[in-house]
Amino acid sequence: MNPAPVTADDTAAAAQRLRDWLLGGAVQCAGGEHAGGIVGAIAADGRARYVYPEITGYYLHWLAEVSDETGVERVRAPAQAAADWADRVLADGRVPATRAYLVADEERDWRNDAVFFFDLAMLVRGLCAVAEAGVVATPSRAIARLVEELARFVDADGGIVAARSLAADARLPRRWSTLGGPFEVKASSRAALAARHVALPAALAEACRNLAAGYVDTAAAIPLDMLHPTLYFAEGMLVAEPDAAPAIAALLARLLRLARVDGSLPEAEDSDVPRSDIIAQALRVGLLLRGVDGAPDEATLDRLAAALVARVRADGTLPFRPDVPDPQPNAWCAMFAEQALRWHARARRGLPLPAAEGLV
């Protein structure tokens, strides 16, 4: 079934609902050990499941980018609380757990057997972004600690490893998040931006540059595999190698050929899992490519926007996937979608979009 035509008013209204939910306190811990931290998902009973450094970084970055819409004062308190959380969990040489669970979890989470380059890069970018937007004073100590940790991911060959095990007997599964590769370009492009605030170790700076540069000639043809990390790669290349935009347009065209009739996208080429974050990612990349040879046309962008609008609930929540019995409101899906729909409304009204580094 084709979605109904979407207008700038439609996408702006859906973005407003998402924005109100994200700023309403549901995604930020109000007290306790993790006060200020941002949760990844909310359980069926309404309780936050876990605090996530990667998502806290997204939230800080989103607050910086959305402050032009809301005014700085509206986002200052949640940004300061999130920055204070980051400072606490990084104190005394510590690194935050990938998922700090807030409710009893029956199974041990393998993710907490490692530290991930992607997590720390997203957190440092968020901290830098709120400082650059004038939302909070520069959290120099936390930024310096994160850069110190990020430098430890550069291997002897000058490459970036995706994960570092925290124990000698840790056995990490073979996932895109542990193997590294193209998707780390998003993380490395964000880590490189921290040089505005603190001197990067030479090996880290070079590794970040080389990772993106190494994909310039093959960007259009990388395997699609999982669409979520493929779009992370596209987002990173638009920041680190903007001249590669035509190749990213070709990559996006390949990906969009997997779109369903309703404008939604699957999790992977061989999957029917209808994740909301993937639609939002594709829409954001497509909007930034407007005017580039091979970029999606306006009708394609409208279909993606309509598919997202259809998933945004009246209370401003957005499920990770809508096809399960108890769809869970998801923080990063909401942030990606709010930004995508707000940008769509701006584009339809002839207003300029932010630079690619504004991508949360």
Query: At 13, is the pLDDT very low, low, confident or very high (cuts 50, 70, 90)?
Result: very high
For residue 280, the model assigns a pLDDT of 98
For residue 60, the model assigns a pLDDT of 98
CB-side neighbour CA atoms (13 Å) of 111: 19
Q: What is the mean pLDDT of residues 288-308?
A: 97
List all residues 6 or more positions away from 101 whose beta carbon is below 8 Å from its beta carbon. Answer: 49, 50, 109
Tell whether 280 is covered by a domain: yes
What percent of the chain stands above pLDDT 90? 78
Separation of alpha carbons 294 and 181, rounded Å: 25
Tell whether 351 is covered by a domain: no
pLDDT in tens, 66-120: 999 999 999 999 999 999 999 999 999 988 878 877 876 545 676 677 899 999 9
If asked whether residues 191 and 294 sit together in one domain, one would say: no
Separation of alpha carbons 280 and 40, rounded Å: 17
Tell whether 355 is covered by a domain: no
Domain boundary among 187, 211, 235: 211
Residue 122 maps to which CATH number? 1.50.10.20
For residue 105, the model assigns a pLDDT of 58
**Paired tokens of 220:** 């259009």
Q: Residue 79's domain spans which residues?
A: 31-211
If asked whether residues 154 and 191 sit together in one domain, one would say: yes
Tell whether 350 is covered by a domain: no
For residue 81, the model assigns a pLDDT of 98
Model confidence, pTM:
0.94
Q: How many residues does the chain have?
A: 360
Q: What is the mean pLDDT of residues 133-156?
A: 97
For residue 142, the model assigns a pLDDT of 97
Backbone angles phi, psi at 182, to 5 degrees: -55, -40
**Paired tokens of 54:** 């990667």
For residue 104, the model assigns a pLDDT of 66
**Paired tokens of 306:** 């309509």
Domain boundary among 211, 227, 261: 211
pLDDT at 27 over 80: yes
pLDDT at 1 over 80: no
Query: At 49, is the pLDDT very low, low, confident or very high (cuts 50, 70, 90)?
Result: confident
If asked whether residues 192 and 76 sit together in one domain, one would say: yes
If asked whether residues 36 and 83 sit together in one domain, one would say: yes
If asked whether residues 147 and 227 sit together in one domain, one would say: no
Separation of alpha carbons 266 and 275, rounded Å: 7
For residue 166, the model assigns a pLDDT of 75
Separation of alpha carbons 101 and 134, rounded Å: 31
List all residues 6 or more positions away from 205 whose beta carbon is below 8 Å from its beta carbon. Answer: 192, 195
If asked whether residues 12 and 51 sit together in one domain, one would say: no
Number of domains in the chain: 2
For residue 2, the model assigns a pLDDT of 58
